[in-house]
Structure 1
Amino acid sequence: MNDARERIHLRWLNVEDAETLLDLQLRNRDVFEEISASDRSESFYTLEGQVALLEGWAKAREEEKRYSFGIFLNTTQELIGEISLFELVLDHTDKWIVGYVLDQRHNGKGYMSEALQMVLKFAVDEAGIKRVEAGALPDNIGSIRVLRKAGFQEIGRQNINIKGIWKEHVMFAVDTTI
């Protein structure tokens, strides 16, 4: 298997990526909406909506509250996905969550496993994050496989609001200090 850096690379997404990100979002809208807890109103699916999203991510990165990366193929420079680490405060506890989406056309090729390893390395080496959590719908076998391959352990179940419906998720965590 090729070294991950030969197949994909990660970089910060910025406002100049808005059109490309919008194209990715529109092509995969049905799938992404089924797994995303974020607001995906009609305005989200506009160029202005993506610019606002990217501006928000840049501000959050400056505040060290969110790190959002585009996943790009090295051969074509195509944006094939997005992966983010973001901080939440739940029950007075800070938690770092990883969330990701991948263009359906690239599922099953190992790209997300590679991207997750790169993000976990960033979490340890550059952001000083000690623990990362993630959730996946129980029938999202691919995502569960990616998390387990990266060393995440199941820690329980939690209901998460997806498009106004509470859906049970399998929750995972990995301690990055090990």
Structure 2
Amino acid sequence: MSDLQRLTAHHAPALLRFERENRAYFARSVPDRGDDYFAQFDARHAALLAEQAAGGCHFHVLVDDDGEVLGRFNLVDVADSGADLGYRVAERAAGRGVATTGVRQVCDLARDAYGLNRLTAAATLDNPASLAVLRRAGFTPVGEVLLDGRPGLQHVRELAG
């Protein structure tokens, strides 16, 4: 069983563990966060919470029954009733529908709790799993993009009321 929760200060230790344990796995499909991310994690976490409190972003973690983080699902750059979606799922949870479920739940929150009407998301062409998650969660490809120099697809999902 898992639970999607809004990011809080108490998630910091589990979130840091999640990022460390999955660093090499994530680096296969997205740019590495770099050593500074881990060295400055506490300050970075506090800054994210401040940004969330100001309403510019909505950060979420999917946690298991033991409080361990299975994934992150974030809505960033909130403006004009829209936001950009980003997510990552632990290697141990990959291939089990966790990403699709989490993305769908965040889409519902975006519409119902945050009053958003439109989400955008992008994935690189060499990340077919992420492209499939977006498709299963109701996103439509709208154009090609470069993500850190790698070709990708930009997607949109309109959030009907």
Compute the TM-score of the two structures, normalised by the length of structure 1: 0.81
| Change over 3 Å in CA distance of 1:52–1:11 after alignment to 2 | same
Q: Calculate percent identity across the aligned residue pairs.
A: 22
Q: Contact between 2:57 and 2:78, CA under 8 Å: does it hold in 1? A: no
Note if 1:141 corresponds to 2:128.
yes
Matched AA of 1:54: H
Q: Give the stretch that moved more between structures: 148-157 or 25-34.
A: 25-34
Q: Contact between 1:82 and 1:100, CA under 8 Å: does it hold in 2? A: yes
Equivalent residue, structure 1, for 2:62:
71
Equivalent residue, structure 1, for 2:48:
57
| Change over 3 Å in CA distance of 1:147–1:29 after alignment to 2 | same
Equivalent residue, structure 2, for 1:18:
12
CA RMSD of aligned residues (A): 2.1
Matched AA of 1:55: A
Unaligned runs of 5+ in 1: 1-6
**Paired residue secondary structure (1:77):** coil
Residue 119 of structure 1: how far off its partner (Å): 0.5
Equivalent residue, structure 2, for 1:169:
152
Aligned length: 161
Q: Contact between 2:140 and 2:157, CA under 8 Å: does it hold in 1? A: yes
Equivalent residue, structure 2, for 1:4:
none
Q: Contact between 1:84 and 1:98, CA under 8 Å: does it hold in 2? A: yes
Unaligned runs of 5+ in 2: none
Among 66, 70, 73, the residue aligned to 1:80: 70
| Change over 3 Å in CA distance of 1:68–1:156 after alignment to 2 | same
| Change over 3 Å in CA distance of 1:142–1:175 after alignment to 2 | same
